[in-house]
């Protein structure tokens, strides 16, 4: 991927993250069963580096320049979760460092929608990373996935 040149570990391929991670740990079910275990054995070892430890590379800058030249016709959609691509970007899998509250186990709500955030914060629900969420944005206007919760990098 584009961010490999910035030092970010690739997800796919022979040395990619997903070739070494046990898939059972990368699930919502594993998170719900034991959030602390999920963070300590899956999330932090693989995504615990703050995105600020990496810098955009010339490829990121080139895409941003192309988008500036053709703002009405060029839309950048990335699967990267590192936040290195700036500008008008659709982050298909979310962004490392952004979190959302999820309902408790006794709730019948199990949604990744942004509309639940305010309600769930008041309920004191647990936090789940917003990265690796499989939902494209409906609009191309801006990266609006701001979560509002504290980042693990702070």
Task: Give per-10-residue mean pLDDT for the chain (154 aa).
Answer: 82 74 75 85 73 82 91 85 77 71 56 46 50 40 39 32
Q: Is 51 helix (H, G, I), strand (E, B) or coil?
A: helix
What's the pLDDT score for residue 96?
A: 72
Question: Six-digit token pair at 53?
Answer: 């430890």
**Is 93 an active-site residue?**
yes
What's the pLDDT score for residue 58?
A: 94
Look up the pTM and report it.
0.58
What's the pLDDT score for residue 49?
A: 63
What's the pLDDT score for residue 76?
A: 86
Q: Could you say which DSSP state residue 22 is in?
A: -
Reference 124, options 148, 103, 105, 150; nearest CA is 103
Catalytic residue chosen out of the listed positions 46, 60, 75, 93: 93
Q: Which burial class, exposed, middle or buried, applies to 50 when counting CB atoms under 10 A from its CB (0-12, 13-18, 19+)?
A: middle
């Amino acid at each position: 991927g584009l961010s490999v040149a910035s030092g970010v570990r690739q997800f796919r391929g022979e040395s990619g993250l997903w070739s070494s991670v046990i898939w059972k740990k990368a699930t919502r079910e594993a998170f719900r069963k034991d959030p602390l275990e999920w963070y300590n054995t899956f999330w932090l070892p693989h995504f615990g580096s703050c995105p600020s430890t990496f810098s955009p590379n010339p490829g990121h800058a080139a895409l941003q320049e192309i988008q500036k030249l053709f703002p009405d016709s060029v839309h950048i959609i990335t699967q990267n979760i590192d936040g290195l691509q700036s500008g008008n970007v659709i982050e298909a899998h979310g962004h490392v460092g952004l979190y959302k509250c999820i309902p408790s186990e006794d709730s019948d709500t199990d949604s990744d929608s942004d509309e639940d955030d305010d309600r769930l914060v008041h309920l004191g629900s647990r936090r789940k990373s917003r990265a690796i969420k499989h939902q494209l944005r409906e609009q191309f206007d801006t990266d609006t996935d701001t979560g509002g919760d504290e980042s693990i990098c702070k």
